[in-house]
């Protein structure tokens, strides 16, 4: 095994071009487990810790450019306002020690359906900035996950950053596990209300071969909110609409039975989380609408 330590992004790209099989390592919270357990013996490890700008973020007018190695701890501490869904999801990642090391780039690189960031990334509608010596590509998150632990990247590409729209409305995240800390999600659900475009986006984790959106549920809810004039009135969502949304979210799952839970349970739980998170975000939206009207 060789340990490559590029001092700059350009050096890292050159190294990845020369050794496409090199395994990038940043927080190490996935890669080192595989090495410790002898599940993987990469020919090259490509250490990204020396590249400072991967751990930085920029808050722009419309978007946040989040470096691939910004730790979950930093996201929780610094980006709760701009990226509430991702901050909530970050808080459920493993433990403080893991959150201090792990970042969104690793979740995307591993592309496990159980990665905690995915539902928030999907519901935000972000883009992933990947680069190789051949150039930069912006991959829409909807096109990023292509199979179980497979993503849309080429072997010579590295993840540099994620560009997330700043929240224009309430966002929520919910995850089922046996305890609060140190759990891999049995299943998870993320939702983002987008009042500016009057749309709703969702993300489901651990309930299909890849992280997925509940598109039919989104379309149904977006139409129901529009037709009922809910965005203007801020009226409560009728239980029948919430129920239908939950059923459609449940239907978007394509889960398996495994040690963490059964397929049947996952479908059920995703429906429950969809209904609850919709309730939480809508109450928050209504609260804001009401206080805006009172002012």
Q: Which of 81, 97, 233, 262 binds another protein (CB under 8 A)?
A: 97
Q: Is 95 one of the binding residues for another protein (CB under 8 A)?
A: yes
Q: Is 35 one of the binding residues for another protein (CB under 8 A)?
A: yes
Q: Would you say 77 or 283 has its CB closer to another protein?
A: 77
Q: Is 2 one of the binding residues for another protein (CB under 8 A)?
A: yes
Q: Which of 20, 52, 60, 96 binds another protein (CB under 8 A)?
A: 96
Q: Residue 213 and residue 108: Cα distance in Å, rounded? A: 16
Exposed/middle/buried for residue 96 (C-beta within 10 Å: 0-12, 13-18, 19+): exposed
Q: Would you say 52 or 236 has its CB closer to another protein?
A: 52
- Output phi, psi for 35, to 5 deg: -75, -45
Helix (H) or strand (E) holding 127: strand 127-132
Q: How many residues are recorded in the chain?
A: 295
By the 8 A CB rule, do 120 and 171 touch? yes
Vertex 65, ends 253 and 170: CA angle to 5°?
A: 50
CB of 44 vs another protein, minimal distance in Å: 9
The residues near 148 (Cβ < 8 Å, ≥ 6 apart) are 113, 209, 210
Q: Would you say 5 or 149 has its CB closer to another protein?
A: 5
Q: Is 214 one of the binding residues for another protein (CB under 8 A)?
A: no
Q: Which of 16, 22, 24, 27 binds another protein (CB under 8 A)?
A: 27
Q: Residue 116 and residue 180: Cα distance in Å, rounded? A: 13
Q: Which residues are bridge partners to 23 per DSSP?
A: 45
Site string for another protein, 151-190 (x = CB under 8 A): -----------------------------xxx--------
Q: Is 36 one of the binding residues for another protein (CB under 8 A)?
A: yes
State CA 21 to chain mean position distance.
25
Q: Is 6 one of the binding residues for another protein (CB under 8 A)?
A: no
Q: Is 11 one of the binding residues for another protein (CB under 8 A)?
A: no
Q: Which residues are bridge partners to 65 per DSSP?
A: 58, 163
What is the contact surface with another protein in residues (CB under 8 A)?
1-3, 5, 25, 27-29, 31-33, 35-37, 41-42, 45, 47, 49, 94-98, 100-101, 180-182
């Amino acid at each position: 095994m060789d340990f490559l330590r590029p001092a700059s992004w350009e050096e890292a790209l050159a190294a990845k071009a020369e050794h496409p099989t090199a395994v990038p390592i940043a927080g190490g919270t996935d890669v080192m487990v595989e090495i410790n357990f002898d599940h993987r013996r990469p020919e090259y490890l490509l250490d990204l810790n020396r590249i400072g700008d991967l751990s930085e973020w920029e808050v722009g007018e419309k978007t946040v450019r989040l470096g691939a190695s910004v730790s979950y701890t930093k996201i929780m501490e610094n980006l709760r306002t701009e990226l509430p869904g991702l901050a909530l999801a970050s808080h459920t990642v493993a433990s403080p020690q893991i959150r201090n090391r792990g970042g969104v780039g690793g979740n995307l690189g591993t592309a496990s359906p159980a990665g905690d960031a995915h539902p928030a990334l999907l519901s935000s509608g972000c883009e992933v900035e990947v680069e190789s010596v051949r150039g930069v590509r912006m991959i829409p998150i909807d096109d990023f996950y292509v199979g179980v632990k497979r993503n849309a990247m080429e072997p010579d590409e590295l993840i540099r950053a994620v560009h997330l729209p700043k929240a224009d409305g309430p966002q929520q995240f919910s995850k089922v596990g046996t305890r609060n800390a140190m759990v891999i999600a049995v299943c998870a659900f993320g939702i983002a209300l987008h009042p500016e475009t009057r749309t709703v986006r969702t993300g489901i984790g651990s309930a299909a071969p890849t992280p997925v959106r509940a598109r039919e549920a989104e379309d149904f809810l977006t139409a129901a909110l529009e037709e009922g004039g809910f965005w203007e009135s801020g009226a409560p969502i009728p239980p029948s609409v919430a129920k239908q949304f939950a059923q459609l979210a449940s239907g978007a799952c394509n889960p398996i039975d495994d040690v963490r839970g059964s397929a049947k349970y996952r479908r059920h739980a995703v429906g429950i989380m969809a209904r609850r998170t919709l309730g939480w975000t809508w109450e928050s939206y209504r609260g804001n609408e009401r206080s805006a009207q009172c002012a």
